[in-house]
Chains A and B, each alone.
Chain A
């Protein structure tokens, strides 16, 4: 008998048959990152269009939540790290070819930007707010001269924040379900949509709710378009991508994705918002909560499904199945 020794990096039960390294922390952060990107984008955009007295919730109230959301998201990211004490090494270099580097530096800039932006508006929302230290009051008053610059940089950074999470996933060429360039725009549109839904949720003005219902309907429609074309792209690619798409077309993720993400998270709120724009009364909280739920489920399903998709050598297929 001849003995043949096969050594492969795949002969590791943590790698084969399925390498699942990411739990709930990453999808939660992706959702919160997209939500913050959406809120800050709309806040800065409508500020630059001089709508602060019309769209008060969008420009003034919603940004107050962003530092909290970002903090929770970053805490989740931190919890996910295996070597938590080395997180600072991300900031010792800038690697232009790495989406993770882009993300780390964008977050580093956008966190203080969001805090300062929120600080500009906190006195408008809570008139009895007291900064306690006059130096803070003076600094904010001085920085307020540059509100326009802050708004423009927020537009830039929130765009990057919303998009880079999708680009980060799409950079994993070993995960065929993620390896599509549509994922970046999909996550950006989803983030903007959840931001609009959040503003819809907290708004107290009929006009603002109407406008953000319109914006959200448009964004949901775009998201549906991108999802359909993502699957069409997969089905027109190599057999590996076709296997990845088949997870969602008859495979284990079918029911969860098309019911919770597309059905309850996109189609149903779109229908309700269209009905609302045609005069049927529905409390705005319902489509808003559905869109937020859908955005969260999208992140969870995409992150989980991506880790289940892989390139399999022909002989491995016979071993595994």
Chain B
């Protein structure tokens, strides 16, 4: 099946904004993502080291069962939606997104390190791009806007040093 072209990013952005609005309308709260990962990993740690989780005030807050929280279901929905969108556009393939000047394994390693730094940063700032920047920005929370500027600033500053992954 031939791959269909991507939508215009402006159309995608408006669609995402409408989704965010509908989240407020139906759930009374905005979108989020890193909270779901946080609850899931806390649950896994809880299975092995319950006392440690309870003793740590940050963990203890997230220690309830992951499926009693809306965010976890939202993330499951995100994965299903992404899969369906890829299926309808003929884009569902096993592949590694990378440029011509880097090997697959190096790309995976850098992706893992970058993801770990991003996850740490997301919990440090109490949200990632969807929860903090999107939802926080929509409600004009200062933290959301500071976060967004910081993300772009840091990306511009460091992009030169990791350019070999894509060009």
Contact = CB atoms under 8 A, between A and B. Distances in A.
B24 interface: no
Contacts of A275: 87-88
A317 B90 CA distance: 55
Contacts of A271: 84
B1 interface: yes
Residue among B1, B67, B87, B92 with max Cβ neighbours from chain A (10 Å): B87
Contacts of A255: 67, 73
B90 A280 contact: yes
Given A275-B87, A280-B87, A256 B92 contact: no
Contacts of B80: 264, 268
B92 A282 contact: yes
A57 to B, nearest CB: 24
A256 B67 CA distance: 8
A32 to B, nearest CB: 25
B141 interface: no
A271 B88 CA distance: 11
A280 B84 contact: no
A272 B92 CA distance: 13
Interface string A249-274: 00000011001000010001001100
B39 to A, nearest CB: 14
A147 to B, nearest CB: 41
A217 B140 CA distance: 47
Interface residues of A, number: 12
Q: How large is the interface on B (under 10, 10 to 19, 20 to 34, 35 or more residues)?
A: 10 to 19
B54 interface: no
Contact of A259 (B73, B84, B88, B90): B73
Interface in A119-157: none
B111 interface: no
Contacts of A279: 1
Contact of B1 (A259, A264, A281): A281
Contacts of B150: none
B138 interface: no
A255 B27 CA distance: 14
Contacts of A281: 1, 90
B76 interface: yes
B1 A280 contact: yes
A96 B38 CA distance: 54
Contact of B87 (A256, A259, A264, A282): A282
Given A255-B73, A259-B73, A280 B67 contact: no
Contacts of B84: 271-272
Nearest to A290: B80
A264 B67 CA distance: 15
B1 A272 contact: no
A272 B87 contact: yes
Contacts of A272: 84, 87
B153 to A, nearest CB: 39
A271 to B, nearest CB: 7
Interface in A98-124: none
Interface of B: 1, 67, 73, 76, 80, 84, 87-88, 90, 92
22 contacts: A255-B67, A255-B73, A256-B67, A259-B73, A259-B76, A264-B76, A264-B80, A268-B80, A271-B84, A272-B84, A272-B87, A275-B87, A275-B88, A279-B1, A280-B1, A280-B87, A280-B88, A280-B90, A281-B1, A281-B90, A282-B87, A282-B92
Interface of A: 255-256, 259, 264, 268, 271-272, 275, 279-282
Given A259-B73, A268-B80, A279-B1, 4 more contacts: A255-B67, A255-B73, A259-B76, A280-B90
